[in-house]
Amino acid sequence: MRDIPVLSLRDVNLSFGSKTLFDNLTIDIGRFDKITLVGHNGCGKSTLLKVLDGHLPQDTGERYEEPGINIVYMEQDPVFENEEISTEKFLRQQLKDPSLFYKAEEYTQSLEVNLKNPISILSGGERRRLALVSTFMQEPDVILMDEPTNHLDLSTIQWLERKLISFRGAFVVISHDRTFLSNITTAILWIERGHIHRLDKGFEYFYDWQSSLLDQEAQQMQRLGSLLKKEQRWLHRGVTARRKRNQGRIQKLHELREQRATLLQQPRTGNWNPPKEISASKVIIEAFNISKSFGDRVLVNDFSTRILKGDRIGIIGPNGAGKTTLLKLLTGAINPDVGLTKIGKKIDIVYLDQHRSELNPKKSIKEILCPSGGDHVGIGEEHRHVISYLKDFLFSPEQVDSKISTLSGGERNRLLLAKSLSLPSSILILDEPTNDLDMDTLDILQDMLDSYAGTILMVSHDRDFLDKTVTSIISFEENGKLIEYAGSYSDFLSAQKRKEKNVELKSQKPKITPFYKKKPAIEYKNRLTYKHTYRLKKIPTEMQELEKTILCCEEQLHDTTFYERDPKAFNKLSFDLESYEEKKMLLEEEWLKLELIQEELKIKKDEKEKK
């Protein structure tokens, strides 16, 4: 049973020029609803949030909000009227009573917002965190959020997840981050051709539900003897094909991840010395003990890696940790303070510019893709007609001559992808590629990367995107330490949990008191007791048995698939191995103690006989 609505739209219609966005749209938002708003690019998701907020009037229909309810809207690109004031002054202005500023302090500390900095110097991530502080400190009853995870690092995204899960109110959120949506939402609103569908389940059920609705629609229209519209046919085929392609992509990624895991498991002793030659056909980049600092701050500390053709490397870490710096080090854009980076011969690097600086607003789509003229796009050795190529990126043939200035943000992102992926390259650099991309464009990007033959280096905080695209993760740890984990982001998480579990097991493990501390010191007068003599003979045999057991445990733990097959058994065996090794050490200590006593007795006996 749904909550009583605190915010509603009834039979709302809204058009811009000749384009109808909403047709008799009705929405009810309950007091504790946790809703995600989804739909293809340009369907009006952001516009709908503005209508719900009350800042954008509808053409017809009614909007209702419960009297006294506090609605806070966090827009996609936060705008601050006066950017010269400090963040503290801005936050104080958001409060009706400035004496209540203590409400903001919890959030500024959690999100590490510097209260003294003027807004004008803040980075994209800092502006987003400031907007989050402003949103929550106002103690809203309903939050409307448009792409809140853009420009946020993983730790902040996870903070936001926890905050929204425990939030005692309602929210409607637009996001391309599938993992984020799966973790926080309990209902879905899907905008489709001006109408809205609702499912009271979490986002993980969306694609199956969407597919079933499209199947029902297709069957109904066929029964009526009507042909499906081109748009409907394309959409249905796209959803079905996407699910099939995902299965093939997963299998291919598993194979690539196994290859990367094998490389990372190769033993390295001492310094990793660079070879005299590097093979451009196989090894793309090698880094040998590189370090980089800026002032007293160490960003990269003694990192080595070998990146092969076809590798897809994801780089993660907090904002400001040095991820972009690492990209520049690996591609030779900057030199390390210590160490050496070698790049293969004849390596072409293409950088996917998410700021769209390469798109001249006065040019047409065709001029961007065919800068030398003609109507064909060169893609490696292949040439495709520009209209055919544009269809892969969801553009209609009628848009080929459209000026860049007339395109929406999502359309510009798709065009940028089309341009970047058509260029010849050995290495593709993606620095936060998912920011400002809708889900349709993300699916296109994943398909394109799947078919890309070169090497990919990407910085991303989108966990679902990393799971579907990378073969290993380079993680920024403390003090510039970098660790590479084979596999996806989920594999990285499993490795982190395994570390935490081992630390926890070690802390919970009962301390074993050495033999000679368990009991008073061995008492002897002129000889060892029978029990001690027996132990002296028995201990070497026990140690041999323990050594065999330890060797067997180590062989099992060296199996790289053991943890994936049975994490509990892996953790238990790790704990047992530590216990066996400690028991062996205690046996050695016990044996040594008895040997020393026996030797002392022998010396005393010899001295006595001499007398």
Task: Please write the tens of the pLDDT for every residue from 444-464.
Answer: 888 888 888 889 999 999 999
CA distances from 588 to 518, 537, 538, 541 (A): 15, 13, 12, 12
Residues 6+ away with beta carbon under 8 Å from 527:
601
Give the pLDDT mean for 246-261: 68
**191 strand-pairing partners:** 196
The pLDDT value recorded for residue 380 is 67
Considering only CA atoms, which of 556, 558, 574, 564 is closest in space to residue 500?
574
Q: Are residues 514 and 472 in the same domain?
A: no
| Any domain includes 523 | yes
- Give which of 364, 369, 358, 351 is closest to 407, Cα–Cα: 364
Mean pLDDT within 513-541: 64
Residue 249 lies in a domain: no
Residue 468 pLDDT exceeds 50: yes
Residue 608 is predicted with a pLDDT of 72
Tokens 């390469």 -> residue: 358
- pLDDT the model gives residue 447: 82
Q: Identify the sign of the CA torsion 411, 412, 418, 421.
A: negative
State both tokens at 289: 């003990």
* Tally of domains in the chain: 3
Q: Look at residues 160, 166, 163 and name the one whose alpha carbon lies nearest to residue 148.
A: 160
On the CB side of 560, CA atoms within 13 Å amount to 14
Indicate if the pLDDT at residue 169 is higher than 70: yes
Single residue among 462, 491, 520 that ends a domain in this structure: 491
Question: In this structure, is residue 269 part of a structural domain?
Answer: no
Task: Give per-residue pLDDT as tens, 73-88.
Answer: 999 888 888 889 999 9
- Spatial separation of the C-alpha atoms in residues 169 and 30, rounded to whole Å: 9
Q: Is the pLDDT of residue 267 over 80?
A: no
Residue 58 lies in a domain: yes
Alpha carbons within 13 A on the beta-carbon side of 72: 18
Residue 560 pLDDT > 90: no
Q: What is the predicted pLDDT for the residue at 270?
A: 41
Mean pLDDT of 346-369: 80
Residue 131 and residue 205 share a domain: yes
Dist. CA 502–CA 499, nearest whole Å: 5
| pLDDT of 1 | 60
**What gap in Å lies between CA 166 and CA 262, rounded to an integer?**
42
Q: What is the DSSP letter of 56?
A: S
Alpha carbon distance 601, 77 (integer Å): 84
Whether residues 530 and 471 fall in one domain:
no
**CA-CA distance, 91 to 136, in Å (whole number)?**
11
Residue 570 and residue 441 share a domain: no
Q: For residue 250, what pLDDT is reported?
A: 62
Find where tokens 């949506």 sit: 181
**Number of neighbours of residue 425 by Cβ within 10 angstroms:** 20
d(CA 34, CA 2): 11
* Confidence band for 277, pLDDT divided at 50, 70 and 90: very low
Stretch 501-528: mean pLDDT, rounded? Answer: 54
Could you tell me if 487 and 514 lie in one domain?
A: no
Q: Hey, which of 35-49, 166-180, 526-540 has the most confident mean pLDDT?
A: 166-180
Residue 138: give its domain's CATH number: 3.40.50.300
Helix 439-451 crosses helix 409-422 at what angle (to 10 degrees)?
Answer: 0
Whether residue 504 has pLDDT greater than 80: no
Q: What is the CA radius of gyration of the chain?
A: 32
Q: How far is CA 293 from CA 154, 288, 321, 327, in A?
A: 23, 16, 11, 15
- Residue 49 has which token pair? 């949030």
In a domain, 257, yes or no: no
Q: What's 318's DSSP letter? A: -
pLDDT at 569: 78
- Cα–Cα distance for residue pair 56/54, rounded to 1 Å: 6
10 beta partners: 62
Is residue 363, in this structure, part of any structural domain at all? yes
Does position 599 have pLDDT exceeding 80, yes or no? no
Domain boundary among 178, 205, 223: 223
The predicted pLDDT at position 221 comes to: 64
The stretch 167-173 carries a mean pLDDT of 95
Residue 150 shares a structural domain with residue 295: no
Helices 206-223, 230-264: inter-axial angle, 10-degree rounding: 150
Q: Residue 571: is its pLDDT beyond 80?
A: no
Residue 299 has pLDDT above 80, yes or no: yes
Which is more confidently placed, 455 or 260? Answer: 455
In the block, tokens 């065919």 appear at 370
* pLDDT score for 227: 46
Residue ending a domain, choose from 465, 491, 517? 491
The verdict on 304 and 443 lying in the same domain is yes
* DSSP 8-state code for residue 392: T
Question: How many CB atoms neighbour CB 454 within 10 A?
Answer: 19
Based on the fold, state whether residues 405 and 537 are members of the same structural domain.
Answer: no
For residue 37, what are the β-bridge partners?
Answer: 189
Q: How does residue 234 score in pLDDT terms, banded at 50, 70 and 90? A: very low
pLDDT computed for residue 275 by the predictor = 43
Q: What is the mean pLDDT of residues 355-363?
A: 74
Structural domain contains residue 173: yes
Structure tokens at 126: 């800092």
pLDDT over 80 at 27, yes or no: yes
User: Is 245 part of a structural domain of the chain?
Assistant: no
213 with 39: CB under 8 angstroms?
no
For residues 527 and 574, state if they share a domain: yes
Please give the pLDDT value at position 296. Answer: 86
- Please report the pLDDT score of residue 251 as a whole number: 66
Mean pLDDT of 291-297: 90
Whether residue 484 is found in the same domain as residue 409: yes
Task: List, for residues 59-114, the tens digit of each pLDDT value.
Answer: 999 999 999 999 999 998 888 888 899 999 999 988 878 778 888 888 998 898 99
Residue 87 to residue 129: CA distance in whole angstroms: 11
209 and 331 share a domain? no
Asked whether 461 and 149 are in contact (CB, 8 A), the reply is yes
Look at 303-312, 336-345, 378-387 and tell me which has the smallest mean pLDDT.
378-387
Position 230 pLDDT exceeds 50: no
CA contacts within 13 A on the Cβ side of 230? 2
Least confident of 308-317, 344-353, 463-472, 524-533: 524-533
Per-residue pLDDT, 432: 85
pLDDT attached to residue 515: 40
Range of the domain at 538: 509-610
CB atoms within 10 A of CB 322: 23
pLDDT value at residue 314: 95
- Strand arrangement, sheet containing 5-16: 19-30, 5-16, 60-65
Q: Are 148 and 176 in contact (CB under 8 A)?
A: no
Same structural domain, 289 and 167: no
CATH number at residue 584: 1.10.287
CA distances from 567 to 475, 484, 487, 498, 562 (A): 22, 20, 16, 8, 7
Query: What rounded mean pLDDT belongs to the chain?
Result: 82
| Helices within 39-171 (DSSP H only) | 45-53, 87-94, 102-110, 124-137, 154-165
Q: At what angle do helices 567-610 and 489-508 cross, to 10 degrees?
A: 40
- Categorize the per-residue pLDDT at 517 as very low, low, confident or very high, splitting at 50, 70 and 90: very low
